Amino acid sequence: MWITTFLPLAMLVMLIFILQYYVFVLSRAARITGNFLPGPKSLPIIGAALEFGRTPVDLLKNLVRVTKEYGYVCRAWMGPHLFVLVADPVFIEPFFSSTVNIRKSMNYEFMNPWLGTGLLTSFGKKWKSRRKIITPTFHFKILEGFVDSFNTQGNTLIKKLKKHAGGPAFDIYKYINLYTLDVICDAAMGLQLNVQDDKNCEYVAALHEASEIIVKRSMSPWYFPEFIFNMSPLGRRQKALIKTLHNMSYKVIKERKMELSNNGKEGAGSTETDNDIGQKKRLAFLDMLLHYDKSGGNLSLEDIREEVDTFMFEGHDTTSSGLSFTLWSLAENPACQQKAYEELYEIFGTSDREATTEDLTKMKYLECVIKETLRLFPSVPFFLRELDEDVKIEGVNFVAGTTVLLAPFIMHKHPQYFPNPEKFDPERFTPENTRGRHPYAYVPFSAGPRNCIGQKFAMMEMKAAVSKILRNYKLSSGGRENVYSVELILRTVGGIHIKLENRK
């Protein structure tokens, strides 16, 4: 029975792949870019897909291997699609700095059912318009208002970690992920979900599972065609999850919009509002968008929902990755941890007071620690761009229609720019040691027009969390080697294992 049902569908999928393959093989991009660059051998229909394995762990290992074999600029066919891997700052700069080739690759379209075409996935006029609207909400004076949230949620994190102090190694990533979710819910929507206390929150569970489905689909070419994915159990499950996520977003937007309508005295440029007892209350990212709309910005409910969901999606997992790897790096490098702690002691002494924005700016060495962590373990290890126009770099023609994979995970370990690249050395990022380095050799937050709009927010959050943990606990190695996996972000298989000891 199942044969008669699925065999015609399988044959149709195969036919589509064959047609796509020959269209691409005969394309200008293939003839000029694909045939000019070195890369692994391609087989008919599947290209070099077998070279890269079937899991996120295999993919990361093999991308590194292919670069070592064929150079920092090479090509690979993935089924009918031509990818060019670029891990040299000289070649990367024209792509990141371009104001024309800013289109994300087709893989990002898998996020559209959830995120729509917000700042992450849009391009052209819509992207430029959204970027212009959203940029002012990340002004430093506005970001200062979030330090209280970092501290409040950080105090909860410290309490949750207390049970592990003096005990065996444990996976700290789970705790960090819930901390960043609490922070981003507060910052993006003004919601106090308290997920660190309620791990069974339906919204949080849906957010995690929806992210996992996007990764699964990205690794499964047979799910690329929209109509096939939508008919699959995975597609149907994604639809249900997205309904949960959108219902929450719309509910919060409508409630906050009603509050704003009832509080007509607030100006469109205000970053604070009064609560019921006359105290100043910091506005969330959502409130900024609503104020913009109220002042004549003409954003629809759908437009606002796209950007709130995008901020929720981008703003927690990436920071969770960066934070967890920073803590692990400090645990593995006791001398660096001690130096970071001594810096904090100079700032706070024996005081238990909360960190201020001014305190965060004084954490110069800790900032170097975080930057070095993001060099070795960039939260987003690869960026994908679809070229709309031809680009010629160092005699190499990159033709419109090519998908370019920009690879910070590999480039950050280029020995020409980072000698002894596998060594953890925060001193690389002191002012005197960064002077003269190629400006695109280090791009953990992307670069150019499409750089991460929330990078200052992320750095402040990571400084606040790491400093709070170091003031309370001494970290040591969990004695377990990490196996890295490239999904939407850089992860480890099995978590980040460290030990804690009370400092007080």
**What was the pLDDT predicted at 407?**
94
CA within 13 Å, CB half, 154: 23
**What was the pLDDT predicted at 199?**
67
The token duo for 471 is 């003031």
**What was the pLDDT predicted at 6?**
53
β-sheet bridge partners, residue 273: 281
Evaluated on CA atoms 439, 445, 447, 448, the torsion sign reads: negative
Q: How far is CA 109 from the centre of its chain?
A: 16
pLDDT one digit per residue (tens) for the chain, 504 residues: 445 555 566 666 666 655 555 555 445 455 555 467 888 887 776 777 778 877 888 888 999 999 999 999 998 887 667 789 999 999 999 989 888 877 877 778 899 999 998 888 888 888 888 888 888 878 778 888 899 999 999 999 999 999 999 999 999 999 999 999 999 888 888 888 888 987 678 888 898 889 889 878 877 777 888 888 999 999 999 999 999 999 989 988 888 888 777 765 444 444 455 444 333 456 788 888 888 766 656 788 899 999 889 888 888 889 999 999 999 999 999 999 999 999 999 999 999 999 999 999 999 999 999 999 999 999 999 998 888 888 888 888 888 878 899 999 999 999 999 999 999 999 999 999 999 999 999 999 999 888 998 999 999 999 999 999 999 999 999 887 888 888 778 989 889 999 999 997
Which CATH number does 87-390+408-502 carry? Answer: 1.10.630.10
Evaluated on CA atoms 412, 416, 419, 422, the torsion sign reads: positive
CATH 1.10.630.10 domain range(s) in the chain = 87-390+408-502
**What was the pLDDT predicted at 107?**
75
The token duo for 432 is 């005197």
Rounded to two decimals, what is the model's pTM? 0.88
**What was the pLDDT predicted at 358?**
96
**What was the pLDDT predicted at 279?**
39
452 carries a ligand binding annotation: yes
**What was the pLDDT predicted at 280?**
46
**What was the pLDDT predicted at 277?**
34
**What was the pLDDT predicted at 420?**
97
Contact 466, 156 (CB under 8 A): no
* 487 vs 473: CA distance, rounded Å: 30
Residue with tokens 């509050």: 259
